[in-house]
Structure 1
Amino acid sequence: MRRVVPFLATSLVLGVFVWTLFFLYKKSETHAVVHATATPVRREVVQKTVAPGALVPRKEVTIKPRVSGVVEKLYVEPGDYVKANALLAKIQIIPNVVALNQAEANLKAARINYETAKSELERFRRLLGQKLISEADFIQQELAFKLRQQELEAAENNLQLVREGASAKAGKASNLVHSTVEGMVLEVPVKEGASVIEANNFNEGTTIASIANMNDMIFQGRVDESEVGKLRVGMPVSISVGALGDRRFDGTLEYIAPKGVEKEGTIEFEVRAAVKLEPDAFVRANYSANADIILERRTDVLAVNEAWVIHDGKEAFVEVEIGPQRFERKPVRLGLSDGIWVEVTSGLDERTRIKKQDPGAVPASSG
C-alpha cells in the first residue's frame, strides 16, 4: 500500500504535465483561413438622400365665424365630407350692449319718422282730392313716405341682426357658418356651448372647422444643409409611410426652401413634393413619412459590395482570386454608390471572383 500511493501521485502529475504540453501545442498551432469569394452582379444602383416629414393636404382651409357669440349647434364632425357652402355651425349671438342700445334708439326714431310721414301722406291725399295741391307736391310727399318706410325696415333688420345675427326680412344670417370649399372635415376644435370670436383686424378669430381636399396630398419634410445642394426641382421621390407598412408612393420634388432654419444645432431646409396617390389608398393628414429623393440612378450595371473594396489613397482595389485561396490586388474604377453597392466601370467582369473583405473569415480545420 505504501508503494501504490506514491505511484498514483507520480502518474497523476505526469498526466497533467503531458496534457498541458499538448494543450499549449494545439493552441500555438496555426490554422489555415478559408476566405469567402463572390462575383460582381448586375443590378440597379440608386444614390438618394432621405428626408423625414409628413403627408399633408396641399390646401387646408380654416373656417371662422363672422360674428362673436356661443356655439349653439354643430352640424359636422371630423371625417365628414362636405360640399361648398354646406352649413357647419350656428352661433348664438351675445349682443353688444352699446350696439343694442343704438339699434333700439335708431328703430324708435325710424318709427316716429315713419308715422309722421304716413300722417302727412294722408293729409296730402285729402288735399289732392280737394284740388288744393298739385300732383307734383303729392308725388314728392309720397316719395318722402316711402323713404321713411325703408328706413324703418332697415332699422328693424339691423336690430334683429344685432340681437340674433340673422334677419328674416333681409334674408341675411351672419350667425350661420358655412363651408367655403369642398372637402373632408379634418378638425372641429370647438364644442357646443363654447365661446367664439369673429375674425377682425386685431384677432384671427376662432376656428370652427378645418377642411381639406384629401385627394391632393403633398409630402412636406426637411433635409440637412449638407444635402440640399444636390437637390433640384423635378427630381423623382419615393415616399414610404410607416402607418401603411411597406407601401410606397411615387412623387416629384416641387419646392426647395431658399432659407434654412436652425434646429438642434443644425441648419435644415424645407422641401415639398407632389404625391401620386393610388385609388385604393386612404391617406390621413399628417401621416409620418420618409421621402427617398433620388439623386441619380443607374440600371443594369456591374456592381460589387462596397465592403469588398480596398481604398489606398485615391485609388481603389479589389483582391481577385488567381488560384485556390490565392489572391492579388487589382485596381478598379468605381462609379455611382448607394452606400452598400458601388458601380464598377472598369477592371472586372462578371466571372471574376473577388475576395470578401470580411473580418469573420472561416478557419480551416488542420485535420
Structure 2
Amino acid sequence: MSKRAKIILIGIVLLFIGALVWFGKKNAKGIVAFETETPFRVTIIKKTVATGKVIPLEEIEIKPQITGIIDKVVLLEGSKVNKGDLIAVVRVVPNEQSLISAKGRVDNAKLRVNNAAVSYKRSKSLFDKGVIASAEYEGVELAYAQSKQDLENAENDYLIIKIGSAGSGGAANTNIIAQMSGTILEIPVKEGDQVIQSNNFNAGTTIASIADMSKMIFEGKVDESEVGKLVKGTDIEVSIGAIEGKKFLAKLNFIAPKGTEEGGAVQFKIKADVSLEDKFFIRAGYSANADIILVKKDSVLALKEGLLRFDKETEEPYVEVETSEGVFEKRIVKLGTSDGVNVEVLEGVVAKDKIKIWNKASKDDEKKD
C-alpha cells in the first residue's frame, strides 16, 4: 500500500471515530435528579365567596294618605328621627270637577233637610193633638233624622276633597310623619312635587324612606353548586369594599328556597346578621363580600396539589414515590377536600413516603403520562 493510500485510510478512520464521539455526546442523557417531599398534617378549609351588599334589616317607605303638592320638606336625608317626627307637609289641590260635584251634593242635602224639617214640624203638631197615629209620626221623624245625617256626610265629603280631611283630622293627613325611629335614607321628592296617595290601584308616591342603621344584614348570592353545603347559623366574615382591612363577623340566617337564573347559572339569595362596631359607620348599600366556610377538616394528611399527576387514560390522580435512591414508583391516590393549594389524601401514601417533586416536564415524562 502506498504512503498516500495509508494517509487517506487513516483520515477516514479518524473521521469515523470523530463522528461516533459526536453522535454519542449528542444522544447522551444526563441523569435527572428529582427532589422529594413528604405528606404533612394540616387543617384544610374550603371556602366560597358570596358577593352582595350591606343593607338595613328594617327599612320602610313613607307614602301620603292624600293626593296633593309637597308644600314643605322639614328634614333632610341622613337626619335622625324618632317615631312621630314631622318630615314634610302636603298641600291639597282639589280637583275642580270633584269639588263642584261635592258642593252640589251638599246643596241638595240641605234642600232635603229643609223639606224634612217642615214635614216633621207639621206631623209633630198633629201628633200632639192626637190627629195622626204614632206610626205615621215616627216615619216622618225618621226621614228628618236621615236627611240631617245625609247632609253631614255630604259636608264631610266636600271638606275631604277641599282640604284633605273632615274636621280636626286634617293635619293628620297633610302632615307626613315618621312611622319608626331611625335614619332618613332618602327623600326622593322636593317642594312643589305632586304626590299620589297609596290605594288599591296605585302604590303611591314615596316621600321618604327610613331605616334602623343599628341593625344591618349582608345580602348576597351563591351558586347552586355550593348552596347545598351551606348551613343556617354558620359564622361568616364580611368584607366591605369601602372599609379596607376590616372583616365583620356575621351569622348566616337565611338561604333562599328558590334560585334565580343569572347569566346561565342559578343563584340563591342568602342573608346574614352583621355584628357592627361603633367606630365604623356602615352606610346602606355598601358593596361587600362574604367568606363562607363550606368544609373544615383539622389535622388531615395532605399533599401539595403541584405533586399530583393524572393518568391520561383513566384520569386517576397519582404520585411517584421513591422506593430507593433515584428510583420512583407510581402510586394511585384517593383524594379528599382541597383548598386550592393543599389536598387531603385518603389512600395511596403514608406520612413517611418521599414523593417526587416534578421538574420541568421532559418528552419522556409526557409519554409516561
TM-score > 0.5 by shorter chain: yes
Q: How far apart are residue 165 of structure 1 and its match?
A: 0.7
Name the residue aligned to 1:340: 341
1:307 maps to amino acid: G
Q: How far apart are residue 204 of structure 1 and its match?
A: 2.7
1:71 maps to amino acid: I
Corresponding residue SS for 1:156 = helix
Q: Percent identity?
A: 33
Aligned partners of 1:334, 1:114: CA distance in 2, in Å?
Answer: 94
Aligned partners of 1:170, 1:278: CA distance in 2, in Å?
Answer: 42
Name the residue aligned to 2:267: 269
Corresponding residue SS for 1:104 = helix
Cα–Cα, structure 1 residues 327 and 149, in superposed 2: closer, same or farther, change >3 Å? Answer: farther
Aligned partners of 2:149, 2:63: CA distance in 1, in Å?
Answer: 32
Name the residue aligned to 2:192: 193
- 1:294 and 2:297 equivalent? no
Name the residue aligned to 2:250: 250
Q: How far apart are residue 33 of structure 1 and its match?
A: 9.5
Aligned partners of 1:124, 1:182: CA distance in 2, in Å?
Answer: 60
Unaligned ranges ≥5, structure 1: 1-29, 360-367
Cα–Cα, structure 1 residues 296 and 107, in superposed 2: closer, same or farther, change >3 Å? Answer: same
Over aligned residue pairs, what C-alpha RMSD do you find? Answer: 4.1
1:339 maps to amino acid: G
2:101 maps to amino acid: Q
Aligned partners of 1:176, 1:144: CA distance in 2, in Å?
Answer: 39
Name the residue aligned to 2:94: 95
Name the residue aligned to 1:316: 318
Q: 1:103-122 counterparts in 2 under 5 A?
A: 103-117=102-116
Q: How far apart are residue 116 of structure 1 and its match?
A: 4.6
Conserved? CA contact 1:69–1:196, under 8 Å: yes
- Deviation string 1:81-100 (CA, Å, 9 cap, x unpaired) is 44555544322112112210
Aligned partners of 1:286, 1:150: CA distance in 2, in Å?
Answer: 54
Unaligned ranges ≥5, structure 2: 1-28, 361-369
- Deviation string 1:19-76 (CA, Å, 9 cap, x unpaired) is xxxxxxxxxxx99999777665543211222222222344543332232221112344
- 1:204 and 2:203 equivalent? yes
- Deviation string 1:232-266 (CA, Å, 9 cap, x unpaired) is 55373443222232313233262235343242xx2
- Deviation string 1:313-359 (CA, Å, 9 cap, x unpaired) is 41332666977xx684674543210111222345243x777665576
Name the residue aligned to 2:159: 160
Corresponding residue SS for 1:109 = helix
Aligned partners of 2:317, 2:179: CA distance in 1, in Å?
Answer: 64
Aligned partners of 2:272, 2:227: CA distance in 1, in Å?
Answer: 20
Name the residue aligned to 1:44: 43
Corresponding residue SS for 2:242 = helix
Name the residue aligned to 1:16: none
Cα–Cα, structure 1 residues 218 and 314, in superposed 2: closer, same or farther, change >3 Å? Answer: same
Cα–Cα, structure 1 residues 144 and 84, in superposed 2: closer, same or farther, change >3 Å? Answer: farther
Aligned partners of 1:232, 1:300: CA distance in 2, in Å?
Answer: 22
Cα–Cα, structure 1 residues 209 and 108, in superposed 2: closer, same or farther, change >3 Å? Answer: same
Aligned partners of 1:183, 1:329: CA distance in 2, in Å?
Answer: 69
